[in-house]
């Protein structure tokens, strides 16, 4: 919840449009409905399985080009490895994500 609020607040300040999805299917539907330049996933998320999301997106010809960025707690390096194997394009520690969020939202 903290990161959603931080993302929403930062995006608003930058004038960047962001949307949130609570399930894998909702994320896929939103990505089909609107141009999507980046999908950000908390690799520790429970409701929207970030690994199922990657599998679904990367196996879809129309959506596999959308960059996936996953963030994780630096002590959970197994999540980093799983994300890499699942097809995430970029995997960063939470601290990096928090510190560089404006640049991530503007440039990705």
Structural domains in the chain, CATH included, are 2-107 (3.40.50.2300)
Whose tokens are 């630096």? That residue is: 74
Question: Which whole number is the average pLDDT over 73-93?
Answer: 93
CB neighbours of residue 68 within 10 Å? 21
Whose tokens are 């996936």? That residue is: 68
Residue 59 has pLDDT above 80, yes or no: yes
Confidence band of 107 (pLDDT split at 50, 70, 90): confident
Confidence band of 63 (pLDDT split at 50, 70, 90): very high
Confidence band of 108 (pLDDT split at 50, 70, 90): low
Do residues 6 and 101 make contact, with C-beta atoms less than 8 angstroms apart? Answer: yes
Would you state the pLDDT for residue 84?
96
Residue 3 has pLDDT above 90, yes or no: no
Question: Coil, strand, or helix at residue 92?
Answer: strand
Question: Which whole number is the average pLDDT over 18-33?
Answer: 93
Residue 1 has pLDDT above 80, yes or no: no
Tell which wins on pLDDT, 74 or 20. 20
53: closest CA among 36, 34, 37, 70?
70
Do residues 69 and 86 make contact, with C-beta atoms less than 8 angstroms apart? Answer: no
Token pair for residue 20?
A: 């949130």
70 burial type by CB count under 10 A (0-12 exposed, 13-18 middle, 19+ buried)? buried
Confidence band of 77 (pLDDT split at 50, 70, 90): confident
């Amino acid at each position: 919840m903290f990161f959603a609020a931080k993302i929403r607040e930062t995006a608003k300040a930058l004038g960047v449009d962001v949307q949130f999805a609570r399930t894998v299917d909702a994320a896929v539907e939103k990505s089909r409905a609107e141009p999507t330049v980046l999908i950000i996933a908390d690799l520790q998320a429970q409701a929207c399985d970030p690994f199922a999301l990657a599998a679904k997106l990367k196996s879809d010809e129309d959506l596999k080009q959308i960059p996936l960025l996953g963030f994780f707690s630096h002590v959970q390096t197994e999540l980093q490895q799983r994300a890499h194997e699942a097809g995430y394009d970029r995997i960063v520690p939470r601290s990096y994500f928090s510190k560089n969020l404006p640049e991530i939202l503007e440039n990705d």
